[in-house]
Chains A and B, each alone.
Chain A
Amino acid sequence: MLHGKCSFIDPEGAEMAKKGDIVAEFLGQNSHLEQWLESLAGECETEKQWRARKEFILRNMESFPNIQPGNSSRSLDQLLSLSMVWSNHVFLGCRYPQQVMDKITGMAEGIIVNDIPLRKTRDEIIGKGIRKNSSDLKIASSQVKLNSRGQDSSRNGSGTSKSQGSHPDTQHAHKDKSLKNVRSSSNEGSHVAMKCGPSPQAPKEYQAFFNRLYKAVAWKLVSAGGFGPNLDYFAILQACVESSKSSLTCIFVPLKEIPDLPSTHSQQEGLVCELRCRTVYLGTGYGRGEDSAKAMAAREALKVFQGRKVTVKICKRKYHGQDVEDLILQDDQLRNSGLPPALSYPFESEHQDLGNINL
């Protein structure tokens, strides 16, 4: 019913006030509806929630032709239910099965809600959310909080590029104008995270190589007289890696550019070096210059080889303020101490935009 009218609200130009008018205007023309409609308001709904839901109902009444104002019927209940799904999703933070989410996404097209309350779902709190890129979500919704349609489109853009390719979400990522911006469906988030992280088989693939490297390092250390303070750590490590027919990657970042350091950290000078081999993280070191940083990183890496064996694992760690999954090399001791934040992330080649969003 309202659908025809709302076609002129192009997503870029519409403003909140105007939209409020539309509902009012429409009801002004169809005053017989108004009373009936008000009877559908929930008793604990706030004015804001009800206004949004009212719009949702009016916009979608067309697609439920059996609805007769004034009579309760099954299809009216269906519409009410979907409107509640949408409202619960937006205002309470509920998530529903994907099918349902897809459906309401389409139905909510064009509805603008300002100032969405920030909710964390249980999964996000428990920690499953880390995989689902919760920080990304937060940014998305806080942008909406700033309330400007311009940003919406930029978010849309990134959403689209994120789910490019054969991703099933692509179609409705284009389509959704408001909903996804409000709270990008976490399912999509999980797809993205999976795609840009290391593949689950990676540890197995790399394990053989690192077993070989472990042996090489062990012999090399024996010939150098054991792990001690006066070694050229980097040279040893590099020699071993090269003898295993691979190469070391060093990434240097000035200390002050690392975003994830604890705020209490006073030191500003110097460089931090991260060593990787075949994308697997080996160690991080700090020094005044490149050489000393490299040496410290190599020292950390060699420490890992002091154990009885080394294992390649997928671990969660910080990267640019986000939790990401990284491949790391570990010794056999269980240690819970947190990893230093990653300085590079070799698994995001398809998703350069990931960093852009957050920087």
Chain B
Amino acid sequence: MGVPAFFRWLSRKYASIIVHCIEEKPKEYNGIRVPTDTSRPNPNEVEFDNLYLDMNGIIHPCTHPEDKPAPKNEDEMMVAIFEYIDRLFNIVRPRRVLYMAIDGVAPRAKMNQQRSRRFRASKEAVELTEEKSRIREEIFQRGGYLPPDEVKERFDSNCITPGTEFMDNLAQCLRYYVADRLNNDPGWRNITVILSDASVPGEGEHKIMDYIRRQRAQPNHDPNTHHCLCGADADLIMLGLATHELNFTIIREEFKPNKPKPCTLCGQLGHEIKECQGLAREKQGEHDEFADTPPCSEQEFIFIRLTVLREYLERELTMASLPFPFDIERSIDDWVFMCFFVGNDFLPHLPSLEIREGAIDRLVGIYKNVVHKTGGYLTENGFVNLERVEMIMDAVGVAEDNIFKKRKEDEEGFKRRMKEKKKRMKTEKPAFIPRGQFAPQPLGGRGRPQPINNPRQAAYEMRMQERNLDNRPQSLMSSHDKNSTSPSPAVKRKAEDSDSEPEPEDNVRLWEEGWKQRYYKNKFDVDVSDDAFRRRVVKSYVEGLCWVLRYYYQGCASWKWFYPFHYAPFASDFKDIKDMFKEFEAGTKPFKPLEQLMGVFPAASGNFLPLTWQRLMTEPISSIIDFYPEDFGIDLNGKKYAWQGVALLPFVDERRLRAALEDVYPDLTPDEIKRNSLGSDVLFLGKHHPLFDFVCELYKENMMEFVDIPPELCHGIKGTVSLDENPILPGKLVESPVPMLKDIAMNNAVGIEFKDPQYHEGFVFKAVVLPGAKVPPKVLKPGDWDNSNQRPWKPQLGFNPNRQQVHLSQSAFRTLSHNMPRERTRDGAYSNAPPPGTYHQPGPNRQQRASLAPPAQYSRQPASLLGPMPGYSQQQQQQYSRNYGNEPSLGWNRMMQSQRSAYQQNQQRGPGWSSGYQQRPNDLRDERGRQGYNSGRNYPLPPASGRYNWN
């Protein structure tokens, strides 16, 4: 969904929905990478059944990453994609199904958004290359150094659109990848893999939804399947909610704001292309060993637990004293529907509803009233009750005027605050900084205030300093006098102030009387009195709302429908909308891939199309030339940057497009005809899968028709299969499409075309929780939690409510303590810190004793030796392999613990997670350990063996 703010808003309001992923990193021994075994239990303490990949969220960052240099060629891109999928697979470790969906041809409703993205991308790419070469030139003139411009195939990100050769190659590569993993990776042994490539129409995430929907509607579906969907779009959250599956989790990259991006010119971090100076690269680390690893470079993943979100929503939406029993499922559907008002891919959002201004909360408030009043929900199974929607819109419309006024006020207030802040920051220095004894010290620095050795001298120095201060203003003033004839500083500052933020002019001024008039005039170029036109806009918008909701709950209702305006109407314009929408045109067909390319590409990306097709984009005699402007209007619409504005691109006339293409269809080569045809999902299985023999048998019999899958062989998945034309078969060589990777000679995987179960026309998928679904345990603190008679509420951090703390084994502690003294004497950041207790006087005999004494001996010592810490258990002593009994326990063993907990944390992520350490729940110890860790007392740790990621 084109609402970047949505996810931020959601994760702030409902913080517990986010769980950080624990990832087991592949180990490396002597330079050889040892892959992780994904057949072992999931380190996140949850087992997922199905993993769905919205591949476009993977393809884009892998082909043109923002935070690292771009891959050099297509092969590298493919490998990057494989690695990314491997990484996800390793985190999620699905046990039943892996569904990979690449965006196919999208419904017409999406086309304008696609057009605008691609037209922009194409122009941005040209601008970037221009700027690059310009700055390059400048830097060379100044004598700077830049790495030579590698001969790179310029990658046009627009090729990530169904129908291009790139997408075709990608599909081939993914087939190879799947076959390879099915053969070689133990985690994939029993997995059913479904690949829905770009030749299958539909957006990736919606193909996934369709799959889930259709599986749910058949009796063999396991209602307790745990789904995990990968993708960063905010609308995946809506889609996940819309399935009404109780165990649904979304995995996405953690969004870190202000992540440093390398300069596109020299590839170094820390500056942008504009400021590139062409300096030599600085060495990273002592021997440049960190050259390729900028700090925190690896993107981490987070889970978004829709189960928890449902809990939150239940709390928020529950309405008491309704005239009918409250149904949370219906309410969630309504909530999803209302989120569409604030923005989605298919409709512009209403001008008065901004997510940042709490639009959703406002809607929820209004919604509750409306439900009370009308006695019913807004939607059912994806069908909208327009009468009730109108009441919502009415209520929003009443507030609209105030919303705009408040928005303006907030904006002004913000500007004022920023200005004041700037002013404050400008006063460069405090008027007086004490020196000497009282000089400010940097926090955590090694310098401490020194005691005064020579008071007389110090007093003298301070006196002198004071005198200098007295002099200073005079000297300042005198120099100022001399300068005062020059106006330049004053002029310059003023110019800066006024020029720093050129305000985009706003003709609409929504906060002033007559805003509606101005809005319609400026945005639609019609008079507000033109009621007929306004009704047309509202009608289209209402249709749009119906279409989108249907799209989420039932699948694409019409491939043809689209919203034919660039702007939304006001909420207060939604009057008498009850009869505005009846039904969508039935039997519409999606575009063919190449047709869609003609619809979404600018002329500059025409090289992905056959020559005669390209000509239609450029020649004046073309009958569709109007679809391809070179430059287009952008309405900033109150925003600051061009990419935030509304691109005023003309809409595509489908009839004329098809008519124009009729003439050039004969020019297609066989390959292009193949690319232009609609394909089918493919199902892959490994040798150990129960369905494997069944499928092989089909190939042997050369079955020509569709065959139903026996669901009992395949985790209750239903559907039909038919033979693939160019299948992956056991015993048949699978050629590697990427030169760096080997062919699979001894293939044991099989692939076959797969079709979702079909339902009769007019079948309505029910948006309900399936019978037999077990409600997952609650995560949130119950509202009526009684603190007095129970333990204090323990918030749940991960998936597992009874998460076990991880502890070190004896031998690990031996290692730790063995390494400790050495570490301590090193010049670390803390080597100047005063030692806790008496630790810092290392008696030589102590060490000796430590090495001599076997640890077990001390376990038998009476607890009284521990000194003032009676809470320590026998077990615990065992773990310390040192003679600490003689020392006050407040000293280093606290440090030891803090250290240990730091170690534990890493251990959890690290490779040795389940390697049989002792797990002893011990509240006291945990508490102490955590405290130590949090207070920043992490002392130098044993030397990293290279495989730990200390970040």
Closest CB in chain B relative to A237 CB, distance in Å: 16
Residue of B whose beta carbon sits closest to that of A118: B507
Structural contact, B496 and A85, CB atoms closer than 8 A: no
B540: which A residues are within 8 A, CB to CB? Answer: 44
User: A72 CA to B655 CA in the complex, in Å?
Assistant: 10
A46-B533, A88-B629, A96-B629 given; A80·B623 CB < 8 A: yes
Structural contact, B492 and A337, CB atoms closer than 8 A: yes
User: A78 CA to B123 CA in the complex, in Å?
Assistant: 26
A244: which B residues are within 8 A, CB to CB? Answer: none
Structural contact, B496 and A84, CB atoms closer than 8 A: no
Q: Does A264 contact B (CB under 8 A)?
A: yes
Q: Does B499 contact A (CB under 8 A)?
A: yes
A46-B524, A92-B650 given; A100·B631 CB < 8 A: no
Q: Does A165 contact B (CB under 8 A)?
A: no
User: A332 CA to B660 CA in the complex, in Å?
Assistant: 57
A161-177 vs B, Cβ < 8 Å mask (1 yes, 0 no) = 00000000000000000
Structural contact, A47 and B648, CB atoms closer than 8 A: no
Closest CB in chain B relative to A308 CB, distance in Å: 11
Closest CB in chain B relative to A72 CB, distance in Å: 7
- Among the 9-residue stretches B6-14, B549-557, B633-641, B698-706, the one with 4 or more Cβ atoms under 8 Å from chain A is B633-641
User: A284 CA to B491 CA in the complex, in Å?
Assistant: 11
Q: Does B482 contact A (CB under 8 A)?
A: yes
Residue of B whose beta carbon sits closest to that of A79: B623
Q: Does B647 contact A (CB under 8 A)?
A: yes
Q: Does B833 contact A (CB under 8 A)?
A: no
B490-531 vs A, Cβ < 8 Å mask (1 yes, 0 no) = 011011111100000001000000000000001011100010
B800: which A residues are within 8 A, CB to CB? Answer: none
Closest CB in chain B relative to A288 CB, distance in Å: 9
> Which residue of the partner chain, among B507, B620, B648, B663, contacts A92 with CB atoms under 8 Å?
B648
Q: Does B642 contact A (CB under 8 A)?
A: yes
User: A299 CA to B489 CA in the complex, in Å?
Assistant: 13
B603: which A residues are within 8 A, CB to CB? Answer: 97
Q: Which of A44, A91, A122 has the most CB of B within 10 A?
A: A122
Q: Does A225 contact B (CB under 8 A)?
A: no
Q: Does A35 contact B (CB under 8 A)?
A: no
Closest CB in chain A relative to B866 CB, distance in Å: 65
Residue of B whose beta carbon sits closest to that of A49: B525
Structural contact, B488 and A285, CB atoms closer than 8 A: yes
Q: Does A140 contact B (CB under 8 A)?
A: no
A47-B530, A92-B650, A264-B494 given; A77·B629 CB < 8 A: no
A46-B524, A77-B659 given; A338·B623 CB < 8 A: no
Which residues of chain A from 57 to 80 have a CB within 8 Å of any chain B CB? Answer: 72, 74, 77-78, 80
User: A265 CA to B624 CA in the complex, in Å?
Assistant: 53
A99-B620, A122-B647 given; A94·B525 CB < 8 A: no
User: A34 CA to B120 CA in the complex, in Å?
Assistant: 39
Q: Does A256 contact B (CB under 8 A)?
A: no
> Which residue of the partner chain, among A48, A80, A285, A337, contacts B526 with CB atoms under 8 Å?
A48
B731-748 vs A, Cβ < 8 Å mask (1 yes, 0 no) = 000000000000000000
Structural contact, B564 and A43, CB atoms closer than 8 A: yes
Q: Does B939 contact A (CB under 8 A)?
A: no
Q: Does A137 contact B (CB under 8 A)?
A: no
User: A171 CA to B526 CA in the complex, in Å?
Assistant: 35
Structural contact, A121 and B633, CB atoms closer than 8 A: yes
User: A100 CA to B616 CA in the complex, in Å?
Assistant: 12
Structural contact, A122 and B632, CB atoms closer than 8 A: yes
User: A43 CA to B653 CA in the complex, in Å?
Assistant: 10
A42: which B residues are within 8 A, CB to CB? Answer: 564, 651, 653
Structural contact, B650 and A103, CB atoms closer than 8 A: no
A117-136 vs B, Cβ < 8 Å mask (1 yes, 0 no) = 11111110110100000000
Q: Does A296 contact B (CB under 8 A)?
A: yes
B34: which A residues are within 8 A, CB to CB? Answer: none
B653: which A residues are within 8 A, CB to CB? Answer: 42, 80, 84
Q: Does B466 contact A (CB under 8 A)?
A: no
A199: which B residues are within 8 A, CB to CB? Answer: none
Which residues of chain B from 903 to 929 have a CB within 8 Å of any chain A CB? Answer: none
Structural contact, A100 and B648, CB atoms closer than 8 A: no
B123: which A residues are within 8 A, CB to CB? Answer: 122-123
Closest CB in chain B relative to A108 CB, distance in Å: 14
User: A65 CA to B504 CA in the complex, in Å?
Assistant: 47
A126: which B residues are within 8 A, CB to CB? Answer: 127, 642
User: A120 CA to B486 CA in the complex, in Å?
Assistant: 39
A100-B625, A125-B634, A265-B494 given; A338·B487 CB < 8 A: no
A46-B524, A103-B620, A265-B494 given; A77·B656 CB < 8 A: yes
Q: Does B73 contact A (CB under 8 A)?
A: no
Residue of B whose beta carbon sits closest to that of A92: B648
User: A262 CA to B499 CA in the complex, in Å?
Assistant: 9
> Which residue of the partner chain, among B491, B622, B647, contacts A286 with CB atoms under 8 Å?
B491
B633: which A residues are within 8 A, CB to CB? Answer: 92-94, 119-122
A337-B496, A338-B495 given; A95·B631 CB < 8 A: yes
- For this complex, 16 residue pairs linking A to B, each with C-beta atoms less than 8 Å apart, are A46-B530, A80-B653, A85-B625, A88-B626, A96-B626, A100-B625, A125-B636, A128-B127, A186-B631, A262-B494, A287-B485, A300-B488, A332-B142, A337-B492, A338-B492, A338-B495
Given contacts A89-B629, A267-B487, 12 further A-B contacts (CB under 8 A): A44-B564, A77-B659, A94-B629, A97-B618, A119-B633, A120-B633, A120-B635, A122-B631, A123-B123, A262-B497, A286-B487, A340-B491
3 A-B pairs with the lowest CB-CB distances in the bound complex, closest first: A93-B633, A94-B629, A44-B564
Taking Cβ atoms with an 8 Å cutoff, the residues of B that contact A are 120, 123, 127, 142, 482, 485-488, 491-492, 494-499, 507, 522, 524-526, 530, 533, 536, 540, 564-565, 603, 618, 620-626, 628-636, 642, 645, 647-651, 653, 655-656, 659-660, 663
